Chains A and B, each alone.
Chain A
């Protein structure tokens, strides 16, 4: 099984860093590649043997950049052909989840720890196509259908 992981810079990447630290112990396979939006930790991640792709940052205020980001992530998905993708957001990773789903990959969305009261907008969108959607706050899982709580990174 070929696994991709993805996280935007900032809190999302921090969540993913914590998960990757535990991947060897808890996941059946190691991720082959990591997609992010800034190279703050790129060197350290490359040291773990993953291919690291840095795509453009985008959010709902920058639709043109989001299109660029979408093309970048499409190219990565077509090249890597993952069987599964695990991501903590945000919008650029939500777009990647769409591509991954279209080529038949399983999608795991973990909503960022910063979303303490409601699921993120990206999370709500990806929920429709993901195979597992996790929140890190039990209260959100209790009142959001199709969303599970299993633990948190902090």
Chain B
């Protein structure tokens, strides 16, 4: 199963429609389920929900063997935590998909770190999707304790 997610804040019709077309044309053979958010395009070739509550969302990610999504950090984080191959396409401001183009940088950065594959636009989805089948994300060590510790040090310094 492939899980397609565009996050929980906005729709992302450009990606949802492109993936739906790929399922319709037989380019994607596996079943796809999707969280489409506030999008106005309703998929015809895959099961979809608009919002999947947190716990069930995690299960959906765990059950999938590949993920396709927007370049949101929540999506990227879940793929990394579950070691799933992820293909992202960044939201663009010019299509009113986000307030700015920061997802282009997010996609570029995490692709350079070999955590995911990124398609700049729908034209690149096919080749990147083909590559996703053999893509193995790099393991990454996050300094999460250090970050939480720095905040803790600050809070201790102001504690009355």
Contact = CB atoms under 8 A, between A and B. Distances in A.
B76 interface: yes
Given A1-B155, A116-B109, A41 B160 contact: no
Interface string A7-23: 01111011100110011
Contacts of B123: none
Given A10-B74, A27-B152, A153-B147, A106 B158 contact: yes
Sort chain B's interface into a size bin: 35 or more
A44 B71 CA distance: 25
B140 interface: yes
Contacts of B140: 154
A113 interface: yes
A137 B142 CA distance: 11
Interface in A130-154: 131-132, 134, 136-137, 148, 150-154
Contacts of B105: 115-118
Given A3-B155, A61-B99, A117-B109, A41 B54 contact: yes
Interface string B120-146: 000000000000000000001011111
Interface in B1-55: 7-9, 51, 53-55
Contacts, number: 148
Nearest to A8: B9
Contacts of A14: 73-74, 77-78
Contacts of B142: 151-154
A106 B155 CA distance: 9
Interface of B: 7-9, 51, 53-55, 57, 71-78, 80-81, 99-100, 102-103, 105-106, 108-110, 140, 142-152, 154-156, 158-160
18 contacts: A1-B159, A3-B155, A8-B9, A22-B144, A23-B148, A26-B148, A26-B149, A27-B152, A27-B155, A84-B155, A113-B73, A114-B71, A150-B143, A150-B146, A150-B150, A151-B143, A152-B143, A153-B142
Given A1-B155, A11-B77, A113-B77, 14 more contacts: A29-B159, A41-B54, A59-B99, A84-B155, A110-B151, A114-B72, A114-B73, A131-B158, A134-B150, A134-B151, A148-B150, A150-B151, A154-B140, A154-B142
